[in-house]
Amino acid sequence: MKQSTLYTKTRKTLPKDEVANNATLLLKSGFIHKEMAGVYSYLPLGLRVLKKIERIIREEINSIGGQEIFMTALQDPKIWKKTDRWSDEMVDIWLKTRDEEFGLGWTHEEPLTSQMRHHIQSYKDLPVYAYQFQTKFRNEPRAKSGLLRTKEFVMKDLYSFNADEDGLNKFYEIAQKAYMRIFDKVGLGKSTYLTFASGGAFSKYSHEFQTLCEAGEDTIFVDKKKKIAVNKEVLNATVLKDLGLNRKDLIETKAIEIGNIFKLGTRFSKSLNLTFKDSKGKEQLVVMGCYGIGPGRLMGTVVEVLSDKDGMIWPESIAPFKVHLLEFKKGRGANLYRELIKKGVDVLYDDRDASPGEKLKDADLIGIPLRLIVSEKTGNKVEFKRRESKTAKLLTQNEAIRKSL
Amino acid sequence: MKQSTLYTKTRKTLPKDEVANNATLLLKSGFIHKEMAGVYSYLPLGLRVLKKIERIIREEINSIGGQEIFMTALQDPKIWKKTDRWSDEMVDIWLKTRDEEFGLGWTHEEPLTSQMRHHIQSYKDLPVYAYQFQTKFRNEPRAKSGLLRTKEFVMKDLYSFNADEDGLNKFYEIAQKAYMRIFDKVGLGKSTYLTFASGGAFSKYSHEFQTLCEAGEDTIFVDKKKKIAVNKEVLNATVLKDLGLNRKDLIETKAIEIGNIFKLGTRFSKSLNLTFKDSKGKEQLVVMGCYGIGPGRLMGTVVEVLSDKDGMIWPESIAPFKVHLLEFKKGRGANLYRELIKKGVDVLYDDRDASPGEKLKDADLIGIPLRLIVSEKTGNKVEFKRRESKTAKLLTQNEAIRKSL
């Protein structure tokens, strides 16, 4: 894409109430736009990142048997009353329309469990794994963390329906591994820990995926050798014993929760009467689990973890473009741009009327991983540099193209 | 995909309040699920259709210079007050949260015009064409038409920003042609008419794309020779003269509005102060247009127009799968399925434990365009039939594969 045709510009002034580093960088670079506190729109560069993250998640969830659906934001109070999650006393983040006619979904156990009554009758219909990428609404009182905590966000929520606890436990392990593959692919694998957190009526723990980061809202205790962590909210002597951990091996640190998996058991199938006939013809309750990732929060976390003082540093897997081609003299990059496009390279071509200084500054801010520069100085060669590297190399055009593939 | 792993089933019982043919067929076949009146979720087969329609629209809108973004549902009352579209007196379909804290966007002129103040300052920044696929909310009182009129739906909304009326007019023509290409590609081209409808302060007419259909809520007058139509709401002697139409050449008919384009002029740039400096340094108002298509309504319209008494008939371009492979004896289709998958054919393989009669009935209902049957009777040959055709052919496996590519 030619940067001269990209409608967004980098910005110097920011909304006064913005404090989070991820929001500051994403706003400055024109990846997102702030509508209100905790409410952000995605602009062309930001949406490209979001879509790439979604694609990675989709592939992994499909690979473990997930079937994609798309439920609605508008929620019917009737079914939420059955599970006792409609009242503001039980759930304090509901956004509801006037006269409480509709709720705006903050999760989707209720409508999906209810829907499954049409599709699950026999043990032969199980298991079912259904997921969606869909907008959630949560009336978050403290929306000060940019994309890390918002009132409206797309969530990948997966729900599992099994015949028994054993089936749930096996799928839970499989989902856990798929989650780690996702975090690896978006560049957060090394800094992300499987973290034991509070469970519910059905299971002792739920599991969070926590990424070590000073900007995080959570406090966790990490055992770096064992590669597991415990959320502060559940840390006590019993838990340490349970998990075979030693308090002195644990380091206290701030972290961002980038995923959460939860064994729901029969909590919802019981309230909403989702049953099946087992192989002996006996009526049984379906056993459920749920598995969430917010692609936008993942994006914000990558910015928090991988940026430097000059801007963002995107991993190739989710970068808005793989290559940023900068020309310091009008038209000088046109030929190389054509060649890159011909080879199918995902390239942003800075063909704007702007000074080299401005272009370099914007390129650092935007954070595309590979950079090519053509100028008077480079002659018929091309300067090649990785965004995070201090040193550049002078390559022939063919070498530069090869490095960009 | 193996049909035995698809979690949805075809249904015989329907929600009592469902009257629309499109909803009846889509619910029976398990493409959608009804949450409430006018609120539908998309299940795996339905979502596949919706995504294919979105892809066709995206390609066409990208090809005319559209840049994709993703705005929010939550709306800030402040900016809607500036354009005088916040009150329920002015707009009667608002869904608002309690205490009117937020609106739920039913269109997006206000936030996008407001956002553009950061990106448009000079004539050099124009034109800009930005669009999104995003959920709209409309508190429709008469939501009885299935996917044709819903309270929550994804919309492709494109907005144009030009330096002058001439720029707007030119792009408006280009968008109009792109719209017709989209409707052609989804199989509605022949039955869809460019229709003159009521304009606004800025232009005499807006344009609707109306598909002839008894289930439609609109009444239009069509000149089949001239390939244009007039919405009943604006039909009068002046309009006929304007458009060079003769009342006696017009046929009155019901139709479904599947797209709408509108010249907004300076209506929003004025209220929200979106200006730019022209080449002489003079401050000017940006001239706008808007262009909407609802992919879900398009899907419902295809069902209304192309179904028969046995079920739906999807055009290949948007079918959930291109090929439906039915085996009448367990395992008999396995080899052909593998071969089709190897060749990259988009195939649904009915490997369920079900009778031939049930499989045929479901296949007619689901409406995948090409059907392959393997049974005792076909021996080592394959029966090939188009969904809409009455006659089948017996082919060798290789011929069947070739026909499926």
pLDDT score recorded for residue A202: 82
Tokens of B286: 């940006």
pLDDT score recorded for residue A354: 96
What average pLDDT does range A197-217 have in this prediction? Answer: 92
| CA–CA distance, B398 with B10 (Å, rounded to integer) | 31
* CA angle B115–B121–B123, rounded 5-degree value: 125
| Closest CA in chain B for residue A14 | B118
Q: In chain B, what residues touch A70 (CB-CB under 8 Å)?
A: 41-42, 47, 50
**Is the pTM here over 0.95, yes or no?**
yes
Q: What averages of pLDDT result for each successive group of 10 residues across chain B (405 residues)?
A: 96 87 97 97 98 98 98 98 97 97 98 97 97 97 92 98 98 98 97 94 91 96 95 95 95 97 97 98 98 98 97 98 97 97 97 97 98 95 96 96 96
Q: Do domains B3-306 and B321-404 have the same CATH topology?
A: no
Instruction: CATH number for A6-306: choose from 3.40.630.10, 3.30.420.40, 3.40.50.150, 3.30.930.10.
Output: 3.30.930.10
Tokens of B375: 């049974």
Alpha helices per DSSP H over A196-332:
237-243, 267-271, 295-306
pLDDT score recorded for residue B143: 85
Contact B69 A42 (CB under 8 A): yes
A17 touches chain B (CB under 8 A): no
Q: Tell me: the pLDDT tens digits for B321-345?
A: 999 999 999 999 999 999 999 999 9
Q: Which of A139-148, A244-253, B337-346 shows the lowest per-residue confidence on average (mean pLDDT)?
A: A139-148
Residue type at position B64: I
Contact A7 B128 (CB under 8 A): yes
| Closest CA in chain B for residue A124 | B4
What average pLDDT does range A374-393 have in this prediction? Answer: 95
Task: Check if the beta carbon of residue A38 is closer than 8 Å to that of residue A231.
Answer: no
| CA–CA distance, B16 with A201 (Å, rounded to integer) | 37
pLDDT exceeds 80 at position A201: no
Task: Give B86 to chain A, closest Cα distance, Å.
Answer: 15
| Closest CA in chain A for residue B126 | A7
Architecture of the B3-306 domain: 2-Layer Sandwich (3.30)
**Domain regions of chain B by residue span:** 3-306, 321-404
A70 touches chain B (CB under 8 A): yes
The class (CATH top level) of B321-404 is alpha beta
Alpha helices per DSSP H over B244-372:
267-271, 295-306, 334-342, 356-366
Contact B41 A69 (CB under 8 A): yes
For chain A, give the percent of residues with pLDDT over 70. Answer: 100
What average pLDDT does range A286-307 have in this prediction? Answer: 98
Q: Tell me: the pLDDT tens digits for A272-292?
A: 999 999 999 999 999 999 999
Contact B71 A8 (CB under 8 A): no
What average pLDDT does range A41-66 have in this prediction? Answer: 98
Q: In chain B, what residues touch A8 (CB-CB under 8 Å)?
A: 119
Count the helices and strands in chain B (H runs, E runs).
11, 21
SS (H, E, C) B43-83: CHHHHHHHHHHHHHHHHHHHHCCCEEEECCCEECHHHHHHC
Residues 30-49 on B with a CB inside 8 Å of A are 30, 33, 35-36, 39-44, 47
Q: In chain A, what residues touch B76 (CB-CB under 8 Å)?
A: 35-36, 39
Instruction: Show Cβ contacts of residue A198 under 8 Å, excluding neighbours closer than 6 positions.
Output: A205, A206, A231, A233, A234
B383 touches chain A (CB under 8 A): no
Q: In chain A, what residues touch B69 (CB-CB under 8 Å)?
A: 41-44, 47
pLDDT score recorded for residue A86: 98
Tokens of B98: 């309690």
Task: Check if the beta carbon of residue B118 is closer than 8 Å to that of residue B103.
Answer: no
What average pLDDT does range A74-90 have in this prediction? Answer: 97
Yes or no: domain A323-404 corresponds to CATH 3.40.190.10: no
For chain A, give the percent of residues with pLDDT over 90. Answer: 95
| CA–CA distance, B152 with B138 (Å, rounded to integer) | 6
Contact B98 A102 (CB under 8 A): no
